[in-house]
Amino acid sequence: MSPEQSDVVVVGIGADGWEGLSPAAQAAIRAAKVLMGSSRQLDLVPTGPEERVAWPSPLVPALPALFEKYRDVCVLASGDPMFHGIGTTLVRLLGSRVTVIPHPSSVSLACARLGWALNEVEVVSLVGRSPDLLRPALTPGRRVLVLGGDPETVAEIAGPITVLEQLGGPAERVYQWSGESADPLCVIAAEYAGSAYSRVPGLPDDAYETDGQLTKREVRAISLSTLAPLPGQLLWDVGAGSGSIAIEWARTHPTCRAIAVEQSAERAERIVRNAASLGVPGVVVHIGRAPSALEGLEKPDAIFIGGGLTVPGLVQACWDALGAGGRLVVNAVTLESEAVVAQWYAKVGGDLVRIAVNRGSSVGKFTGWRPHMPVTTWSVTK
């Protein structure tokens, strides 16, 4: 939709202010009755409507009332409004009322200054988010740009960094960070050279803090491949133990979400620590005993049951929670839990797999096989 056909026009603006705007962006500002944006952005515009509204705090809850009150509005946004910007929020809220006039994003400008290929760079936004989210992006030789991060915190995780301040403006500065204070309007660049874990499921067992309640590496890899995580989907990890299934589900894609259900408060705290150290602090830990603890949780796309299988009503509650196409994966070790699996397999079908893992271990001067307890995995799609 063109600016002439909508009553909310979002204009991207850079540190170069009014002079850096395109003729179309300048015309949209002049034509508006109301100009909205942060105080810093409003100060960059010397002309345009007299009525100006600085964003309140908190912003998002206030938006519906603001756009009920005002019409013919021009909204200022940093850089490209549709790249981690207010533009995406307003389009979700207002739909076809919104037209967007973009400006080069800070990421585009940073890549231009650094000589990095934009399509080969991973971007991590830490605006209002945990810095632990940076960890999965840091792999050897990978170039990463961080938005909204504190240089000291980013450097602790990523090692040597470059800070790019006020990109495109008269106060632009690009430098190797060595502990000095940085301008709040900055992008942080890292070329990581350390070690890293793969995002492929099956992390080493010693990647986790555990009291022994841990789905072992080989079984974990098979279980997650059967759970088949897809971007944007939600997993319930029931009887989560150390949280490994929930964590590795969440690591497969930044939009994958997981709820780890664990009755032990001590283990729940351990899951939180594991999730943070492995870069997925968004894993939700729900303390309680299933199946009652499952009541009221957001409906999942997949469920893993790793503990408590013999608790009456647990499998039924999980099965009922799944919608059409939902996946259920259950691991059983004891005869009693295998009996539950056998009953449900006879009832609804699916696939049964017996996993027997033997690991090499010293036997005196030689090497022999040490067997782990076999695991029966039942998987079914509803």
- Candidates 297, 230, 291, 226; CA nearest to 259 is 297
Taking the chain (382 residues) in runs of 10, the rounded mean pLDDT of each run is: 72 95 95 95 93 94 94 94 94 94 96 96 94 94 94 95 95 95 94 92 96 94 97 97 97 97 96 97 96 96 94 97 97 95 96 94 93 94 96
Q: Which residues pair with 123 in a beta bridge?
A: 145
Q: Residues of CATH 3.40.50.150 domain(s) within the chain?
A: 205-381
Alpha carbons 302 and 227: distance in angstroms, whole number: 7
Question: Which residues, 6+ apart, have CB-to-CB distance to 381 below 8 Å?
Answer: 325, 326, 327, 328, 350
Peptide bond into 58 cis (omega under 30): yes
Alpha carbons 86 and 94: distance in angstroms, whole number: 12
Joined tokens for residue 349? 């079908």
Q: Which residues pair with 162 in a beta bridge?
A: 176, 189
Cβ 54 vs Cβ 60: under 8 Å: no
Residue ranges of alpha helices (H) inside the chain are 23-31, 39-43, 63-69, 86-94, 106-114, 151-158, 217-227, 244-251, 265-277, 314-321, 335-348
Residue ranges of alpha helices (H) inside 55-165 are 63-69, 86-94, 106-114, 151-158
What CATH code is assigned to 3-104? 3.40.1010.10
Start-to-end Cα distance in the chain: 42
Count CB-CB contacts under 10 A for residue 294: 21
Q: Is 306 exposed, middle or buried (0-12, 13-18, 19+ CB in 10 A)?
A: buried
b/e 71-102 (16+ beta carbons within 10 angstroms → b): eebbbbbbbbbbbbbbbbbbbeebeebbbbbb
Alpha carbons 164 and 183: distance in angstroms, whole number: 9
- Candidates 127, 123, 135, 129; CA nearest to 279 is 135
Look at residue 307 in the predicted model and tell me its pLDDT.
85
Q: Which residues pair with 352 in a beta bridge?
A: 378
Alpha carbons 32 and 48: distance in angstroms, whole number: 7
Q: Residues of CATH 3.40.1010.10 domain(s) within the chain?
A: 3-104
**Superfamily (CATH) of domain 205-381:** Vaccinia Virus protein VP39 (3.40.50.150)
Alpha carbons 164 and 68: distance in angstroms, whole number: 38
Alpha carbons 44 and 14: distance in angstroms, whole number: 9
What CATH code is assigned to 107-191? 3.30.950.10
CA 382 to chain centre: 27
**What stretch of H or E contains 303?**
strand 302-305
Helix 335-348 and helix 314-321: axis angle, to 10°? 40
- Phi and psi angles of residue 281, each rounded to the nearest 5 degrees, phi first: -65, -10
Alpha carbons 219 and 205: distance in angstroms, whole number: 11
Radius of gyration of the chain, Cα coordinates, nearest whole angstrom: 26
Alpha carbons 95 and 76: distance in angstroms, whole number: 17
Cβ 296 vs Cβ 286: under 8 Å: no
